[in-house]
Structures are given as structure tokens and as C-alpha cells.
Amino acid sequence: MNKSYSIIQDWQANRKYTKGKLITVCFRIAHLASRNSLMKILLMPYLIIYKLIFEWILGIEIPYNLNIGKGFVVWHGPGLIIHRNSIIGSNCTLRHATTIGNKGFSNIECPKIGNNVNIGAHVCILGNIIVGDNAIIGAGSIVIKDVPSNAVVAGNPARIVNYNSPSKPELSD
């Protein structure tokens, strides 16, 4: 993640979806609080409320210590689960009922998602895999192997169905 940090760094990317703005701003505040000990102590009540509201009430598990690049977009957050050791690049879009995590009990073997990745609803991305830049993962896909940059994958297990050009416009909801 770059050195400059703003709690509204995802605002423009979520301009069409107010709920996405709220989810990403709340995540960024919690992430900022977790970056140093003093902030963590001062904002501990916020971190507790964040965890309670997002995880227990809304069913959105985006751990506050997760590394996510700028331009993070969330469409329809409920059911979104991301393991704390996953890494998500810049300008990525995630949709509801998506799981990004490990296989089994290992906490270190988590996915690394590249930049400009568009992930559909009801997707599972599991294990020590890399999803390359500009990839598109179709709804309902189960991804258990690396996805090359610019690939469009779909299915269970996910297979490459096409390649896109990085200059093509992003898919909309």
C-alpha cells in the first residue's frame, strides 16, 4: 500500500453506490486506527463497534488490518468474507457472498489479488494463489488455481473462458 492514506480514497470509485461508500470509509477508518498503537488505543471503541456492526450484524467480514489498495469497490456487501492475510490490489471490485481465504487451517496461504480485478457475486477464491491484474472472475466461480493477468474466468472449478484487454471498460452491475 502506498504511503499516503485517506479514509475517502475509495469515495470516487464508489460514486454510484452509497452503501459501498459507507462500507469502504468505515473500513478505512478502522484500518487507519490499526496502523499504530496509539491510534489503536484511542479508537478501540470504534474498532469494537466496527467489528460488531460489520461482522455480526451486516455479515461483512473485512478485517480492519487487511491490506487493500485504493479504489476499493464493494457492491452489496452482505456475505462478503475476506481472510485477514489476503492481499487485494488497487481498483478492485467485490460483490456480495464472496469468500477470499485459505484452504484448511493455514493462516498464511491466502490469495493475492492484483490491481483492477473485478470479482462477481458468490465467488470463492481459496488458497495460496495469485489473481493477476485486470482479471475478471465470473459470478459463482470457485477459484483454486492462479489466474493470469487479463484473463476472464468462470465455473467450478474456474477456467479461462476469454482474455480481455486492459483498456476495455469495467463490467457494471
**What's the predicted TM-score (pTM) here?**
0.88
Q: What is the pLDDT of residue 79?
A: 95
Pick from 122, 123, 170: which is nearest to 147 by CA? 123
- Enter the CATH code of domain 18-163: 2.160.10.10
Q: Residue 74 class from Cβ within 10 Å (0-12 exposed, 13-18 middle, 19+ buried)?
A: buried
Q: Hey, what's the cell of 7?
A: 479514509
> What is the rounded CA–CA span in Å between residue 144 and residue 160?
12
Q: What residue segments make up the domains of the chain, in order of their start?
A: 18-163
Mean pLDDT per 10-residue section of the chain, whose length is 173 residues? 74 92 95 89 94 94 94 94 96 97 81 98 96 98 97 97 72 51
Cell 466496527: give the residue.
50
Give Cα 109 to chain centroid, integer Å.
16
| Contact residues for 3 (Cβ-Cβ < 8 A; gap 6+) | none
How far apart, in whole angstroms, are the C-alpha atoms of residue 123 and residue 34? 28
pLDDT score of 2: 45
